[in-house]
Amino acid sequence: MNYWPLIGVAAVVIGFVLRLNPALVVVAAGFITGLAAQLSPLDILEVLGKAFTEKRFLLLFLLTLPVIGLLERHGLKEHAQNWVARLRGATMARLLIAYLLMRQLSSALGLTSLGGHPQTVRPLLAPMAEGAAQTRHGELDDDERQRIRALAAGTDNVGMFFGEDIFIAFGAVLLIQSFFAEHGFKLDPLQIALWGIPTAICAFLIHAVRIVRFERRLARRGTAAAATEPPSP
């Protein structure tokens, strides 16, 4: 076996460590791997072109990242915080639980791309949760802000992970079916998806309790801080 083509992996690692342009690093690593595999430059270009045309749907995802970055630079997070702060009755717990429900239901229908960390959690959900918590419980310290952001990211993970297992065409459902088939158990994908519903409900309730408990902890901290604050003259 020829192990020389693996030198392309080292090229990727070195390029990322040196913080070079990722696109140039990947293309250069592809050429290094191709040359190590004794391919001609034209053959390498043919492989790259074929991969580009077959995977061009990924460009839709890549184009969203610069758009989100541009919106953040022009105050998307600040506007989201200010908007949710003006809503009466909006709390961090209600916001995250509503998003959790929406994420689970949409994932159960196969619409897993409606949410996500780069396009929803970081620019919208986390700032809105921070704004709601700050309006309700006062100024937040850095540790509390980081915990709210982590909780928002975890909400997206729980909603998608346990919601998509209900969608019968999802890869995990088919993987479970093939696993049981190899061991002599023939199951229909619909059966597997239906049995994923109780798990999704339990996950929703458990994570909702975690969100409520965290907000109550913020409320107790705010009450204690208000009690220890000296009276104004």
Let me know whether 37 and 135 are in one domain. Answer: no
Q: What is the predicted pLDDT for the residue at 72?
A: 64
pLDDT at 128: 86
User: CB–CB of 121/158 below 8 Å?
Assistant: no
Mean pLDDT of the 197-219 span:
93
Query: In terms of domains, do 74 and 149 share one?
Result: yes
| CA–CA dist 170, 161 (Å, integer) | 11
Q: How many domains does the chain have?
A: 2
Q: What is the pLDDT of residue 146?
A: 93
The tokens describing 66, both together, are 């610069």
Q: What SS3 class is residue 25?
A: helix
Average pLDDT of the segment spanning 221-233:
64
Q: Is residue 215 part of a domain?
A: yes
Residue 16 belongs to a domain: yes
d(CA 143, CA 2): 50
* CA–centroid distance for 200 within its chain: 18
Query: How confident is the model at residue 61, as a pLDDT?
Result: 56
Asked whether residue 233 is assigned to any structural domain, the reply reads no
DSSP helix/strand/coil, 227 = helix
User: Global pTM?
Assistant: 0.66
Q: Are 38 and 72 found together in one domain?
A: no
Q: What is the arithmetic mean of pLDDT over 177-199?
A: 83
* Full domain range(s) for residue 19: 4-54
- Residue 10, pLDDT > 80, answer yes
In a shared domain, residues 18 and 80:
no
Query: 58-73 and 76-85 helices cross at what angle (nearest 10)?
Result: 70
pLDDT, tens digit, 9 for 90 and up, residues 81-138? 676 666 667 788 999 999 999 999 998 888 887 888 877 888 888 888 988 888 888 8
Q: Do 49 and 64 fall within a single domain?
A: no
Asked whether residue 36 is domain-assigned, the answer is yes
Q: Would 211 be classed as within a structural domain?
A: yes
pLDDT at 223 over 70: yes
Evaluate whether 155 touches 125 at the Cβ level (below 8 Å): yes
Tokens encoding 54: 């077959």
